[in-house]
Amino acid sequence: MLSLSSVVGTSVQADVNVPSGSQINLAGGTMQLGCTDFLIQGAAVQGSGASTTGVRNLSVLAGGSLDMAGSAIQLAQQYTNNGSVSAAGGSLTRVDSVTCPAVGQLGAIPINGVGPVATVAAVPTLGSFAFGLLMLSLGLIGGLRAARRGSSPNRPWH
C-alpha cells in the first residue's frame, strides 16, 4: 500500500497510496504521514476516534472512497475529492507546521462541498503622478550625488 514516487531533483517522496480494489482500515487508530500525500483510489476507513496527521495533500480519486465517521484528518495543503467521502461527524482541518508548511487558509475544510476561498491582498501600486514624482526625485538625488562627486574628486569614498 505504500508506493514510492520520485520527484525531479535529488529528493524522494513516499506517499500513502490506496490502489483501486484495495482497502485500508485504521479501526480507530492513528496514522502519522510525515508530510506525505494520501492518495485514495480504493477504500479508506478511518473508524470512530481515528486520527490521521501529517498529510500534505489528501486526494480521493475517481472510484475511491473515504469513510471519516467520527474521525479526524489534519492536512497542510490541498484536499481534492473526485470520489466519495462520508463525513458523519468527521473533521478535516488544514494546519501549518515547520516540517509541513500550509498552503491555503488554515482551519476547518468542508468535507463535502466547496472549501473556503482564500483571500488575496491587493498589491499596492503607484499612480502615474506618484510614479512620475518618484522618478523625478530619484533623478534629482542621482544628479546631486554626481555633482558632489565631481566637486571633490580626491575623496576616497566616491
Grid coordinates representing 84 are 466519495
Is residue 35, in this structure, part of any structural domain at all? yes
Query: pTM surpassing 0.85?
Result: no
- Per-residue pLDDT tens digits for 48-88: 999 999 999 999 999 999 999 999 999 999 999 999 999 88
- Report yes or no on 157 lying in a domain: no
Q: Are residues 71 and 142 in the same domain?
A: no
Lowest mean per-residue pLDDT among 12-16, 29-33, 51-55, 93-97: 12-16
Specify whether 28 is located in the same domain as 50.
yes
What's the Cα-to-Cα distance from 63 to each of 41, 42, 59, 102, 113, rounded to whole Å?
Answer: 6, 7, 11, 27, 18
Residues 84-107: tens digit of each pLDDT:
999 888 999 999 988 899 999 999
Q: Could you tell me which of 72, 141, 151 has the C-alpha nearest to residue 111?
A: 72
Same domain, 93 and 136: no
CB 96 within 8 Å of CB 116: no
Look at residue 100 and give its three-state secondary structure. coil
Give the residue numbers spanning the domain of 11. 2-108
Q: If you average pLDDT over residues 132-149, what whole number do you get? A: 81
